[in-house]
């Protein structure tokens, strides 16, 4: 009933989150506007997941309805730790990571 009221009020779509698949199927059949499911089963008109969840970009257990396609948290953490260590040891940035300019132009900047 709530979904029908939202449709009558002018909603262009409804997100159904973390509800039983059977309920989502009934709601989807009864509405004329699209339903977007997030943990609501396969019968919604569309599907969405939070990309942080599906890429594994955090520590912890994802919600039941999330299928993780990667474990990027480990890789991201490793990359950030390496970056921080290189900055602290002053091995980053290297010459290829900086912009240069002609010495005569730099001399003008130093005189300002």
Catalytic member of 1, 5, 7, 17: 17
pLDDT in tens, 58-87: 878 888 999 999 989 999 999 999 999 999
Residue 69: its pLDDT value, please? 92
Residues 37 and 89 in one domain: no
Contact yes or no for 26/41 (Cβ under 8 A): no
**Cα 93 → chain centroid:** 28
CA-only gyration radius of the chain, Å: 26
Looking at the structure of the chain, the number of domains it has is: 2
Residues 103 and 66 in one domain: yes
Residues 44 and 59 in one domain: no
Instruction: Pull the structure tokens for residue 16.
Output: 């159904």
Residues 32 and 59 in one domain: no
Q: For residue 2, what are the domain limits? A: 1-48
Residue 112: its pLDDT value, please? 87
Give me the sign of the Cα torsion angle 43, 49, 55, 57. negative
The low-confidence residues of the chain, meaning pLDDT below 70, are: none
Query: Is 17 one of the annotated active-site residues of the chain?
Result: yes
């Amino acid at each position: 009933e709530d979904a029908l009221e939202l449709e009558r009020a002018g909603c262009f779509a409804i997100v159904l989150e973390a509800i039983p698949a059977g309920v989502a199927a009934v709601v989807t059949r009864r509405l004329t506007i699209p339903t977007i499911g997030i943990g609501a089963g396969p019968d919604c008109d569309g599907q969405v997941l939070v990309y942080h969840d599906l890429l594994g970009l955090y520590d912890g257990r994802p919600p039941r309805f999330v299928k993780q396609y990667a474990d990027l948290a480990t890789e991201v953490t490793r990359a950030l730790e390496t970056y921080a260590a290189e900055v602290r040891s002053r091995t980053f940035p290297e010459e290829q990571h900086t912009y240069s300019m002609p010495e005569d132009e730099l001399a003008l900047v130093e005189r300002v």
